[in-house]
């Protein structure tokens, strides 16, 4: 099994296959702490890389720290993998996700992420979610300063509106936007269209809606049957077909699902099948 998709140049220079891997779920329950079997999690990431995955997404808050640390063990600097991480959310033992865009905190987190990932420079550093308590421009400027200082190669945003994307672009070049988006949840179509206009990578998180396909469930099942595939695979194939700038990052802790997700890149939807899922 080998990944075959067309490619996208993140920030115009980091060439990746358009199907990556989301490393949020290689942690413990509720994305807190260690997974049951760390070696299996590391092995799964290695399998993904062996199959051709060259774009992996994580965040300092996954674990917190655990997902980045395991990636640091699984991925070697010469594997040719673009590692994307994020800062801007705190966790607590209740499992809450707490926005924290304070510039000093961001400057601290980049050092910790570099250490856990085992890299000199972070390929893509994303602001995880705007913080209502911190002016958005202040947080974005901190990311821009980290890029200028050489700590990170490219800056991305996550969970932003078109207005916020435009504001951020006044301060720093934005290489990617990562928002919730999938075949059954398309609230941010306008953000995707803005990314297309500016040739910004659009990373749809929750790309398979974790199997909760709502009103698209029956159509996905019918199209899946045509291709001897699963509804999850068709959801990924649809995202790849929908726009040239989408970079889905399906997350899994299962080897079988990893193989299926990679195989989804080879499923050619007919125009009719694509349109039925619009
Ligand atoms: N920026 C943000 O705010 C944000 C928020 C959430 C997530 N993310 C990113 O987006 C990535 C993906 O999101 P996600 O993990 O929430 O959603 P997802 O990729 O849509 O779904 C993952 C879930 O689906 C299951 N699954 C995966 N492949 C499958 C397959 N082929 N067949 C059946 N089930 C399958 C997984 O379980 P198994 O482990 O059993 O396969 C897991 O429970 C994350 O890893 C993270 O990097 C970002």
Q: What 3-state class would DSSP assign to 273?
A: helix
| Residue 60 is assigned to a structural domain of this protein | yes
- How far, in Å, from the CA of 175 to the mean position of ligand 1? 22
Q: Is the CB of 27 under 6 A from ligand 1?
A: no
Q: Is 62 a catalytic residue?
A: yes
Query: How far apart are the C-alpha atoms of 68 and 119, rounded to whole Å?
Result: 11
Does residue 1 form part of some domain? no
Given the residues 21, 62, 181, 206, the one annotated as active site = 62
Enter the pTM of the model: 0.98
What's the average model confidence in pLDDT over 43-58? 98
14, containing H or E segment: strand 14-17
**Which residue minimizes the CA distance to atom 44 of ligand 1?**
22
Q: What contacts 263, CB < 8 A, 6 or more positions away?
A: 1, 229, 233
Q: Within 10 Å of residue 8's Cβ, how many Cβ atoms?
A: 20
**% residues pLDDT > 90 (the chain):** 98
Chain centroid to CA 124 = 10
Q: Is residue 91 included in any domain, yes or no?
A: yes
Residue 2 lies in a domain: no
Mean pLDDT of 57-66: 98
The answer to whether the Cα torsion of 267, 271, 273, 275 is positive or negative is: positive
pLDDT in tens, 89-119: 999 999 999 999 999 999 999 999 999 999 9
Question: Structurally, how many domains does the chain consist of?
Answer: 1
The answer to the question of residue 43 being in a domain is yes
Judge contact between 35 and 253, C-beta under 8 A: yes
Average pLDDT for the chain: 97
Which tens digits make up the pLDDT trace of 186-219?
999 999 999 999 999 999 999 999 999 999 999 9
Q: Is the C-beta atom of 20 inside 6 A of ligand 1?
A: no
Instruction: Give 201's DSSP letter.
Output: E
Task: Determine the distance separating the centroid of ligand 1 and the alpha carbon of 244, expressed in angstroms.
Answer: 21
Euclidean distance between CA atoms 192 and 177, whole angstroms: 8
Choosing from 206, 234, 249 the residue with most ligand 1 atoms within 8 A of its CB, the one to mutate for a pocket test is 206
Query: Which burial class, exposed, middle or buried, applies to 216 when counting CB atoms under 10 A from its CB (0-12, 13-18, 19+)?
Result: buried
pLDDT at 48: 98
| Ligand 1 nearest-atom number relative to CA 182 | 20
Average of per-residue pLDDT across 142-167: 98
* Average pLDDT estimate for 150-162: 98
Query: Residue 78: what pLDDT?
Result: 93
Count of beta carbons in the 10 Å neighbourhood of residue 97? 14
DSSP letter at 182?
B
Going by pLDDT thresholds of 50, 70 and 90, the confidence category of residue 5 is confident
- Residue 110 belongs to a domain: yes
How confident is residue 4, by pLDDT bands cut at 50, 70 and 90? confident
Ligand 1 contacts CB of residue 134 (under 6 A): no
Residue-number span of the structural domain to which 13 is assigned: 7-276
Going by pLDDT thresholds of 50, 70 and 90, the confidence category of residue 68 is: very high
CA of 183 to the centre of ligand 1 (A): 14
Calculate how far, in angstroms, residue 171's C-alpha sits from the geometric centre of ligand 1: 31
Nearest to 106 by CA among 149, 43, 70: 149
Q: Is residue 224 part of a domain?
A: yes
The CATH number of whichever domain residue 194 belongs to comes to: 3.20.20.100
Q: pLDDT at residue 144 above 90?
A: yes
* Residue predicted with more confidence, 5 or 25: 25
**Which helix (H) or strand (E) covers residue 56, if one does?**
strand 55-57
Is ligand 1 within 6 A of the CB of residue 207?
yes
253 lines ligand 1 (CB under 6 A): yes
Read off the pLDDT of residues 179-190 as tens digits, 9 standing for 90 and up: 999 999 999 999
Q: Is residue 258 predicted with pLDDT exceeding 90?
A: yes
Q: Check pocket membership of 158 for ligand 1, CB cut-off 6 A.
A: yes
Kindly indicate the confidence band of residue 143, based on its pLDDT and cuts at 50, 70 and 90. very high
Ligand 1 atom closest to 158 (CA):
1
Residue nearest to atom 16 of ligand 1 (CA): 206
Residue 189 lies in a domain: yes
- Extract the runs of DSSP E, i.e. beta strands, from 97-238: 97-99, 122-127, 152-158, 174-180, 201-205
**Amino acid 232: pLDDT:** 98
CA of 59 to the centre of ligand 1 (A): 14
């Amino acid at each position: 099994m080998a990944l075959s998709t067309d490619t996208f140049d993140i920030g115009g220079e980091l060439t990746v296959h358009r199907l990556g891997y989301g490393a949020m779920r290689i942690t413990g329950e509720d994305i807190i702490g260690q997974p049951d079997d760390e070696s299996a999690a590391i092995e799964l990431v290695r399998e993904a890389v062996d199959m051709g995955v060259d774009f992996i997404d994580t965040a300092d808050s996954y674990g917190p720290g655990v997902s980045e640390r395991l990636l640091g063990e699984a991925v070697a600097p010469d594997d040719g993998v673009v590692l994307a991480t994020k800062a801007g959310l705190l966790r607590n033992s209740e499992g809450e996700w707490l926005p924290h865009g304070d510039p000093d905190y961001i400057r601290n987190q980049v050092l910790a992420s570099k250490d856990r990932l085992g890299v000199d420079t972070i390929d893509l550093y994303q602001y995880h979610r705007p913080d209502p308590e911190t002016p958005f421009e202040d947080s974005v400027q901190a990311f821009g300063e980290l890029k200028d200082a050489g700590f990170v190669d490219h800056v991305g945003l996550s969970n932003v509106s078109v207005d916020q994307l435009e504001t951020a672009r006044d301060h720093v070049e934005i290489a990617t936007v990562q928002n919730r988006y999938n075949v059954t949840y398309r609230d941010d179509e306008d953000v995707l269209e803005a990314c297309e206009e500016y040739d910004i990578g659009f990373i749809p998180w929750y790309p398979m809606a974790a199997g909760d396909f709502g009103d698209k469930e029956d159509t996905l099942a019918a199209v899946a049957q045509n291709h001897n595939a699963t509804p999850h695979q068709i959801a990924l194939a649809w995202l790849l077909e929908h726009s040239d700038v989408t970079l889905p990052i399906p997350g899994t802790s299962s080897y079988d699902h990893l193989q299926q997700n990679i195989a989804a890149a080879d499923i050619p939807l007919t125009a009719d099948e694509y349109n039925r899922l619009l």
